[in-house]
Each structure stands twice: as structure tokens, then as C-alpha cells.
Amino acid sequence: MPGQSGEAVQVLVARVYREQSRRILATLIRLLGDFDLAEEALHEAFFVAVERWQKDGVPDNPRAWLVSVGRFKAIDALRRRARFAASQAALVSQLEHLEQHDWDGEDVQDDRLRLIFTCCHPALAADAQVPLTLREICDLSTEEIARAFLVSPATIAQRIVRAKAKIRDAGIPYQVPTLDELPERLDSVLRVIYLVFNEGYSASMGAELTREDLTREAIRLGRLLLELLPEAEVLGLLALMLLHESRRGARLSSTGELILLDEQDRSLWQRALMDEGCALVERGLRSGRGGAYCLQAAIAAVHAEAPSAEQTDWPQIVGLYEVLLRLQPSPVIELNRAVALAKRDGPAAGLEQVEAILQRGDLQDYHLIHAARADFCRQLGRVEAARESYQRALALTRQAPERRFLEARLAQLVSSSA
């Protein structure tokens, strides 16, 4: 409605950007056929919205309005460029295509799944597919993506730029693959969706431990993918995300402090999500075609089914991790197995495995392995070694609740040894 204050409109526009900008961007990329042009158009549209919505009122369908304004802004920008670069045939052709294909504002479909498959096209370098998708679908910064991949922001930025250029120059289609093509394209898409979920479930940096918008988005995309391709690993991934998400509300105290799995109030776990996740795990495992995601979901299901931390079936979890390691060797999976082994056989068994990983040179910059080593050493009474590992973990942690948790552990260690 007209007459809203400038401040109220700015708050509203910020909320629409936070909730809808990735969907709007995906549609603009489909309509414009150009990542960079679509991103410019997106920001132009939101800039216009701040002024126009204050004067004319908020439109009934803000997303359609923003897509329409962004499209017209992009066409205007191309017209200006064409006047000064008439010799550039590609630019003129792009403008003609946009002008000839009108858009009535009704076709505001959800294009994010289409965009994921474009970003994960096999013609793109494997190490660029996931960063590009995280950037375009989830609006993660290069710093956040770099943190997830344990590489520099400059490296991530270069990968994204090269991937965009490849999509443009090779004319990679902006579409969901045919059913025949889907299986070979699936691994990259599953990896992307899971990384989106992980960033939401345990943010790589910042004041908040979780980002519900990202976990919700990843689960929504997982459901879309399951409708499109009901394969065992899609079932497994969706189950894994649902089972983790069921525990999210119990991971923080009322004051925002991190609560470990063993100490969580299980009455706060969302039973509906747990039941759905466990049912999906069973479907995936029964198919006989389950892989790494089904196994990880099975591990999460064992936790979900335990009435209490003390009644957790740790031998089964260790066994599942051993199968997972054979299927997908990884130092992170080794670390998770070491934690399960410590629960089954004691901290010395876990510490031995962690030391072996570190001695190989793996996970040196991964804060969780140093936190695990510190915890094992603390339980074994090796105070100095525990202190050094807690300090190393703290130096590598950028997530505020995790930092406070480690600082508290370190303070407890110092006071107990005083």
C-alpha cells in the first residue's frame, strides 16, 4: 500500500531479497541467458524497488515485479551497449532475441533446480561446479565457499569466473537434463545440495551456528530432485538432511551456546522429520543400490532411534563408518569413525586414530580434528596436550558459538589443572 515510510520499505525490500533473490536470479538467468547480466539486473531491480514501492505501494507479486523490472533493465543496458558497439554481432543478436521474446510476467516458475544442473554440467571443471552453484543458488560469499573447501578465496573466485565464461562461450543449455542424462549428472548435484545443507546446519563463519534458510532450501531441492529421480542415493541424501534437521533446535541453549549431541534434550528433536528420514533410509537400503549418502543417513538414523545418548548403538555406528570408508575413503570420515571408536572403546582408541590422520599430514587446518584430539587428551588427563589442541582449534574456528564452546572447554581445563 502507498504511503509506507522509507525505512519500512527498506526493511521489506531487505526481507524479499533475503527470501527471494536467489529464485529471482535463477529466473533472470533463464530469461537473459547470461549470469553477469542477470546479476546486474537483479541488483538494479531491488534498487528500483526501494524507491517505487515507497511511492506506488508493494506489488501483489513482488517476485514477478522484480523479475519484470530486472529484465527491462537488462534490455536497456544492452541497448546502450549496442549503440556504442554495433560491430559486436553477438551483443546485437542477444538484444534482438530478448526484444523478440516478450515476457508477460506470468511465467515465474522456480528455476533453481534447472540452474543447479547448469552449474553442474559435465563440461565444467569438477572443482568449479560446486562453488559456482553455492555462489549463484545460495548467495554464499567467496570467503564462505573457500572456508568450506579449505582453499583461498582468490582460488574460488577464479574457478567461478572461469565456469561462467565456459557456460557462456560453450552455450551450455539452461535446462534440467533428460531422464537418460540424469544419472551421470547426479553426483555433482547431490554434492551441491549437501554442501548447501551443511553450510546452513553448521555455518562456516559468523555469529549464528545455523542458517535455517539454507537448510530449508537444501531440503526443498532434495524433495524436488526425489520427484524427478527417485534413486537410492537421492533418498539417502534427503533422509540424511531430514535427520540432521530434526536435531537443529536442540543444538543451541536458550542463550545461544552450543550443545553437543550427547547432551542434547531429545524431547526437542522433531519426531516427524526423524520418522520421515528413517523411512527414507529404509527405502534406500532396501533397494540394494545405496551408496555413501544412504550409509551416512543410516548412521544418523541409529542416533535418532537411540532413546538416550547412553543407549546409542556405537558398535553399529563404527561398523557403518567402516563400510563407508571402504566405499568412500576420506580423512573426514576417518575422523568421524575415530570419534565413534572412542565412544565404543574409550578415548585412547580415538586418539590413536586421530594422531595417525594428523601424522599423515591430513586435516591440519580442520578445526574439528584438533577439537577432537583436545577432548580425547582431556579425558586421558593429558592436560598440556589438550590445551595446545584446544588453542589450535580456536585459531582455526570462525564460527562464534563454536569459539565460545572451545573457549569454555579451555577455561575449564585451565581451572581444573590449577
Tell me the DSSP string of 228-258: H---HHHHHHHHHHHHHHTTGGGSB-TTS-B
Distance CA 224, CA 237 (A): 12
Query: Residue 93: what pLDDT?
Result: 54
Q: Where are the domains of the chain?
A: 6-100
Query: Residue 91 — pLDDT band, cuts 50, 70, 90?
Result: very low
Average pLDDT over residues 267-277: 96
Most confident stretch, 70-79, 121-130, 167-176, 378-387: 378-387
Stronger pLDDT, 265 or 82, i.e. the higher one: 265
Is 6-100 in CATH node 1.10.1740? Answer: yes
Judged by DSSP in three states, 206 sits in: strand
* Range from 2-11, 60-69, 146-155, 246-255 carrying the lowest mean pLDDT: 2-11
Contacts of 209 (CB under 8 A, 6+ apart): 202, 203, 251, 252, 256, 258, 399, 400, 401, 402
Q: What's the whole-model pTM score?
A: 0.74
Instruction: Determine if residue 173 is left, alpha or beta; phi over 0 gives left, psi from -120 to 50 gives alpha, anything else beta.
Output: beta
Distance CA 191, CA 164 (A): 19
Average pLDDT over residues 90-103: 49
